[in-house]
Amino acid sequence: MKKLLALLVLMPALGWAQTNEDSIFIKKISDDVFQNGCAYELLRDLTKNVGGRLGGSPEFAKAIQWGKKAMGTLGANKVYLQPCMVPRWVRNGKNDKVAVVALNNKPTLKPLDALALGNSIGTPTEKGITAEVFAINDFDQLEKYKDHIKGKIVFYNYHFNPTNINTFTSYADAVRYRGGGASRAAKYGAVGMIVRSMSESTDNNPHTGDMEYNDSFPKIPAVAIGLQDADKLWKICQLSTSVKVNINTHGKKMPDVPAANVIAELKGNEFPDEIITVGGHLDSWDVNEGANDDGAGVVHTMEVLRVLNALGYKPKRTIRFVLFADEEKSGRGAQKYADEAKAKGEKHLFALESDAGGFTPRGFSFAVPPSAWNKLNAWKVLFEPYGGSRFVVGGGGADTEPLQDAFKTPVAELNPDSQRYFDLHHSRADVFENVNRRELLLGAVNITALIYLVDKYGL
């Protein structure tokens, strides 16, 4: 009985000692990242010397070799490529053009800043297509006025919901117009689609992004326009009886091409068959440098590898650092990673990704068993000095989802502050100059701390 009472008295002290030990090590991580971290310099190299790297493009092939070489300098036990095939879509090297060409049947010329949506077809002739605009707010209005759509260009002026503090919630709501708006309009005879960019920015940069056609309906050209131009187009549609617009794009789908995930490993010393994955996606859109989406996640991943080696950390479990292929258009890289893991019968303990930008970290979203939350809640205090203590139910992102589906792997995603992300996302403004060095490095500190804790204690 005395021994039991002594153990009960000792347990809180043991827990405190454990937490204190982890706090000291995480401070070492932070100090080293801020003093010696190379994530910002790696991001500069990726964005300025490789640049935009649309999946399947020659630039993406260059990025794969860049990633393999860079990871090889950071102390991994091994670095290798995991081949996969990815789709290729091209703009054909020409500017996407949209202009208002007639108001109330009187010629005019009001160019609109526009970008063709990824995977969209080009216009059928060099002169593009010219048709009357039918402006609507949402799908409900599309259904209401479906008998008026035939032969027209449908303009969806659907706004981001400004009341959502987490802007990803607004994006998830609005992105359905980009993704499926063209086919829903084509169902009723539309010949083209214009969508308000998926953003709440104050500039006029159009935002591209992936869209998909429903094969049951005709394929029509699809573009996004900047927010200022969207407001102007909406206004003149309300004031005019007829507004004609010309769309001229050149997008084209090509045959699939070889690509690869870039993978580095630190081999586990105690449980080498248990795998922890941390990663980001190497591809970006073609109209920018992909600095926040997802260059930040790429260099976060590489910084975790660097700092653990710099501190002489020997992981219990095998940690894999993955730069995923073609997240933006197909998710083929992530699917290949999960399929190969399943074929080999691997045991995946945990997977974390960074794909929400290089902004100030606020915490993580998790999709984990209920039993894991006691452990996670106990860890929160360790993240408070570094701003990442907001742990919420939500899950990982697109590149961890196939692992979750295949193995029910617990997953998580870094959640930086989201207020500025969609000002830049998929637009020409997503460049290196719009990433803050300290914010980027602080994200790497938080990710490394979580990987360290999961490796040490499991989940």
Catalytic residue among 265, 274, 289, 327: 327
Which of 452, 381, 319 is CA-nearest to residue 25?
A: 452
Distance, CA of 292 to CA of 296 (rounded, Å): 5
Distance, CA of 60 to CA of 17 (rounded, Å): 47
CA 203 to chain centre: 21
Distance, CA of 211 to CA of 426 (rounded, Å): 13
- For the chain, the distance separating the N- and C-terminal CA atoms, rounded to the nearest angstrom, is 32
Distance, CA of 255 to CA of 86 (rounded, Å): 9
Instruction: Provide the H-helix boundaries in 73-156.
Output: 139-144
Which of 61, 56, 84 is CA-nearest to residue 339?
A: 84
Tell me the two tokens of residue 127.
Answer: 């002169």
- What's the DSSP call for residue 210? B
The CA-CA-CA angle for residues 68, 43, 401, to 5°, reads 65
Q: Would you state the torsion angle of the CA atoms of residues 389, 394, 399, 403, taken in this order, to the nearest 10 degrees?
A: 110
Q: Which residues pair with 415 in a beta bridge?
A: 363
Tell me the two tokens of residue 30.
Answer: 């932070």
Place of tokens 């039993």: 371
- Identity of the residue numbered 47: T
Which of 431, 365, 425 is CA-nearest to residue 401?
A: 365
Q: Which residues pair with 280 in a beta bridge?
A: 323
327 given a catalytic annotation: yes
Q: In this structure, are residues 243 and 102 in contact, taking their beta carbons and an 8 Å threshold?
A: yes
- Collapsing DSSP to helix, strand or coil, 135 comes out as strand
Distance, CA of 222 to CA of 174 (rounded, Å): 16
Which of 88, 87, 42 is CA-nearest to residue 67?
A: 42
Query: β-pairing, 361-367 with 78-90?
Result: unpaired
Distance, CA of 367 to CA of 352 (rounded, Å): 10
Q: In this structure, are residues 226 and 426 in contact, taking their beta carbons and an 8 Å threshold?
A: no
Cα R_g (the chain), whole angstroms:
24
Q: How far is CA 88 from CA 75, 215, 257, in A?
A: 33, 19, 7
Positions marked catalytic? 327
